[in-house]
Structure 1
Amino acid sequence: MDHFHGHAAEEDPRQAWNSPEATLKSIGLKPGMVFADVGCGSGFFTIPAAQLVGSKGLVYAVDANPAAIEALMAKAYEKGLKNIRATVALAEDTVFCIRCVDVVFYSTVLHDFHDPIRVLLNAKKMLLPNGKLVDIDWKKKDMLFGPPKHVRFSEEQSITLIKEAGFTVESLTQLNDYQYMIIAKPASA
C-alpha cells in the first residue's frame, strides 16, 4: 500500500509537504487517547501518533504487508515506544476492540481496500460513540507520485462510502496540494 516504493522514512518525500505531527494535532489527538492506524505501512503516522498519545495512550496498527509491520516495529523499538500494538492482517478482517478507540485513521489507503465499506464498518465497531474517523486520501488528479489517477477516490466518492457505512461527515479539508482530509463521526442511531 506504500506508494513511495522503497523510500526509508528518513527520506520519505512526504516529509517535505506533510507533517504527520501537525496533522495529528489538528484532529485533536492528545495524551491518553487510543488511536487505530489502518493500513499503517511502515509508520509514517503511527510513530508520531504513539509519541503524541504517550505512555498512557495506545496505538493499534494494521497492515497486510509483513515487511511494513516489521519496519514499523523496528522504528518503535529505536524510539523506545512501547504503546504500539501492530498486526499483520487485512483491514477487512480487523476489529481491534469494540467501542474503545478515539480515532480510526486511514492515510492514503481507503482506495486500496478490496471492500472499503467493510473496512469502514469495522471502524464504526471500534470507535467510541464520540470517536472520529479520519480519512486522508490523494486528490483525484494526475501527479508524479502516488497511485494512478484512475484508482484514487475523489472527495465525493470517499464521502459517499463513509456515509453508506453509517457516519456523519463533519468536515472536508484540502490538506495540501496533493491530499484531502475527511473527518466523520458515527451517525446517531
Structure 2
Amino acid sequence: MAHKFDPANLTRLESPERLELLPIDKVIALLEVRTGERVLDAGCGTGIFAVPLARTVGESGRVFAVDLSVEMVEACRQRVAREGVSNVEVIQSEENSIPVPSASVDLAFACHLLHELEDPAKFLAEVRRVLVPTGRLAAIEWEKVETGVGPPLEHRLTPGDSRAILEKSNFTVTDARRVTWANYLLLARPA
C-alpha cells in the first residue's frame, strides 16, 4: 500500500527543515515555466507551489491546484486568498480522476506524489489526458536516503524506480535533475 501524507501534519510541509531540502524558488526555476502556461499542481497540499507558479505564469496563465484532502484544499484556498492571486483554481479531486478538461494543461507538476499513488499507471493516464500534445510532466521525489523529514525510507523511490514508473505509463523522461541532496526532479513528455 502506498504511503499517504496525513493532513493532520500539514504544518510540516512548510517547516524550515523541509524548505531547506526543497527550496521553492529553485524548484520553480528548474520547472522552466513560461508566462501564459496552464499548470496542474497535482497534490497541491497547502499551495506552497501553486501561488509562486501562478505568479510565474502571470495573469494570462492559470494554475489548477488539485488535492484529495479536504484539509489540504482548504489550506490551499486560504493561501491563495491571503496572497491575492486570482489565476489559481483550487479543486478537490480523486486520485485517478483530475477534474480538468482534456488537453488543457501545458505542465503537470507532481511534487512528492508518485510514492503516494495506489495505482501510478491510472494516475499517469489521467495526467496524459489533461496534457496538451506538447505538454510535459515534472515529478519531484525524495531521494531514498534518510533526511529527517519526509516519508519513511521504505516508501521512497529511487530515481530509477520513478523513471520506470513513468516509462511504463508511456512517458519519455527527457531530463533528470538534482534539486538538493534530498530531492530529485524528472522531466518527461507523453511518449
User: Normalising to structure 2: TM-score of the pair?
Assistant: 0.90
Q: How many residues align?
A: 187
Shift of the alpha carbon at 1:89?
Answer: 1.7
Match of 1:70 in 2: 74
Match of 1:21 in 2: 25
Q: Which is worse superposed, 93-102 or 31-40?
A: 93-102
Gaps of 5+ in 1: none
Shift of the alpha carbon at 1:6?
Answer: 4.0
CA 1:180–1:9 in 2, change beyond 3 Å: closer, same or farther?
closer
Shift of the alpha carbon at 1:11?
Answer: 4.5
CA 1:10–1:177 in 2, change beyond 3 Å: closer, same or farther?
closer
Local SS of the residue matching 1:122: helix
> Percent identity between the aligned chains?
27
| Contact preservation (8 Å) 1:117, 1:164 | yes
| Contact preservation (8 Å) 2:7, 2:69 | no
Local SS of the residue matching 1:93: coil
Shift of the alpha carbon at 1:26?
Answer: 2.2
Match of 1:166 in 2: 170
| Contact preservation (8 Å) 2:115, 2:157 | yes
CA 1:162–1:17 in 2, change beyond 3 Å: closer, same or farther?
same
CA distance in structure 2 between the partners assigned to 1:12 and 1:70 by the alignment: 22
Match of 1:118 in 2: 122
Match of 1:127 in 2: 131
Gaps of 5+ in 2: none
Q: Which is worse superposed, 58-67 or 6-15?
A: 6-15
Q: Which amino acid aligns with 2:103?
A: R
Match of 1:96 among 92, 97, 100: 100
CA distance in structure 2 between the partners assigned to 1:156 and 1:129 by the alignment: 25
CA 1:55–1:134 in 2, change beyond 3 Å: closer, same or farther?
same
Local SS of the residue matching 2:141: strand
4+ runs of 1 displaced by more than 4 Å?
8-12
Match of 1:151 in 2: 155
CA 1:155–1:3 in 2, change beyond 3 Å: closer, same or farther?
farther
CA 1:68–1:120 in 2, change beyond 3 Å: closer, same or farther?
same
CA 1:131–1:2 in 2, change beyond 3 Å: closer, same or farther?
farther
Query: What is the CA deviation profile of residues 145-174 of structure 1, one whole-angstrom value per residue up to 9, with x for unaligned ones?
Result: 111111111111111110111111101112
Greater RCO between the two (CA within 8 Å, min separation 6)? 2
1:108 aligns with 2:112: yes
- Cα RMSD, aligned residues only: 1.9
Query: What is the CA deviation profile of residues 59-94 of structure 1, one whole-angstrom value per residue up to 9, with x for unaligned ones?
Result: 001111111111111111111111111111223121
Q: Which amino acid aligns with 2:166?
A: I
Q: Which amino acid aligns with 2:157?
A: F
CA distance in structure 2 between the partners assigned to 1:27 and 1:154 by the alignment: 20
| Contact preservation (8 Å) 2:174, 2:187 | yes
Match of 2:182 among 164, 178, 185: 178
